[in-house]
Chains A and B, each alone.
Chain A
């Protein structure tokens, strides 16, 4: 880097750090410094990221970005890399800049080996205009925030910009036609799941096409789970061309496959990895420390990506590291409250973020819900999605035997939704704190809270009164 860039970097960093400390005194507007610096010195983000010897990884898609980013960062760190990543809740460009300001030293140096960035689809499409990433991991496209994106095809088009502008390797989910069909200029690899498991992870198009699937109570579909599958490299994969709605068989090199899972509520599974160096495939048992069947799939994608970045990484070590990773905040986070701090019995709380039909559907099948109190908290702020129509595309029958209450600004809409699925609602209360307190008073040891984004943040604040809640970014 030449001297004038270096100097402007140092200056920008100092100004940025100053703004950061000033802002922190006032409020929690964490991306504001990024906003200022973006205007003051638009080249700053490029100059900083260019310092990283292994470059930048982008992780995007509708569901699973946060958790997958966390898994990837942890796996790379376990292999000796210094990883720069944006904290959860900052998956947009200003958020990245703010974090760069925090982590750059006073000499303007960003001393990391690689950046792993979670980016919202729209922001990822903007990001590649200023920096072409070395790697991208693209997870899925589902209906989500249609009030922001407009149409699913538009979301897929944004991810297409990302896959086209990635310069080293793009890792794609073969099971999602929107992703599998993306255009890639550099190297393209796939991760996928065994045929029998595909019904667990159907995309939105299939959800409506198959009446039976729509009504399926996935919890009890053992037939989906236990049968093994052919080893990788032996079969062709069907890719659905969404433009003409025809299925063509293509030979794709899937390098990582989720083969078997124990049950939808116990995350223990078999995964097959093709070693990029030896080209040999091997099957491993693994048990992530993350709840939720979708996290098995996220882990598969993460492993595929990490093997591309560090081909020589030891698979056994990777699998072992996976089992230590804790959930990102609000994503199947488990919070334990001890009774000596409160006037109710010991409580284990599962806090699950819900944002769209695919995510909610998988969340509902990832837990045993019978006789467990559930609290569904639906807000309609911008970060939650202002249009709540999507709730009518979720099948809530897995909660049939749960003890359900609702809260959030749209508590009554949610209650209305539930009774339409013949699910009895215990209470609807817009006041989140009151609703949580009431739910905590049940005599059951577990409480499951399904919450939209801002409702999840409010929930964490309420629960923080009872116990220590992990800081965002842990």
Chain B
């Protein structure tokens, strides 16, 4: 079986380890015996059909300016997919642009495509550092944030993680991180995000499977064993992920 994974603006919104999310998704899918077909979408490309999962990353201000007009063009495609429960993960820059707007501190407004009922304001203070955030649905999430935009959730949208115990998250006032609307997730966490937060990866995969009409329940990982020739993905993913998370949960800001 093959899942089509769309990587939004792989050229310009791919600044910091966002490739890691694609790779993590691709490898995790193999545990379900599913192959991933990664489609890189960039400005002006034809919009692909039958997309299972959509991933989007962060970029510099100049990157956002490069893609914004194309993003408006495809916004109805994205809205339809969102309303049809297509699982999506938007990190940092694209998280913001999926909202209502981004207002810079000079008062300029960059409109978003309004899938998320959120607003972002550019502030002087940059929120940078390790983050630990507790999510009722997904468990403890770990990652690293780096953003000058502060995001506020409005009505009818929930945070991805309800309680940030280390770091800032969406903004300096609320203690929440990211957002979730239908099957679309937004987050400020890098790290990369998915490798150390497999509950999210599994969830994206499961939602995509549900949309195709079936449930996935088992993961085919072997128990960790030391091997003379070395530990590979199957034997090592649970072991290394668990320990990398343990280290992450003890980090300072």
Contacts and interface: CB of A to CB of B under 8 A. Distances in A.
Interface string A382-414: 000011111111000000000110000110110
A425 B17 contact: no
Given A387-B146, A389-B17, A426-B230, A420 B196 contact: no
Contacts of A146: 15-16, 146
A393 B16 contact: yes
B231 A425 contact: yes
B10 interface: yes
Given A147-B146, A419-B240, A211 B16 contact: no
B17 A424 contact: no
Q: Categorize the interface residue count of chain B.
A: 35 or more
A65 interface: no
B19 A393 contact: yes
Contact of B60 (A151, A245, A428, A430): A151
Contact of B231 (A242, A393, A424): A424
A424 B190 contact: no
B104 to A, nearest CB: 14
B232 A415 contact: no
A211 B129 CA distance: 31
A419 B146 contact: no
Contact of A389 (B16, B148, B244): B16
A422 interface: yes
B17 A153 contact: no
A53 interface: no
**Range class of the A interface residue count:** 35 or more
Interface string B213-247: 00000000000000101111100110011011011
B191 A424 contact: no
A220 interface: no
B151 interface: no
Contacts of B66: 245
Contact of B62 (A153, A208, A415): A153
B20 interface: yes
A152 B130 CA distance: 21
Nearest to A150: B126
A143 interface: yes
A168 B61 CA distance: 33
A136 to B, nearest CB: 24
A420 B16 contact: no
B74 interface: no
5 contacts: A150-B148, A393-B16, A413-B195, A417-B20, A420-B20
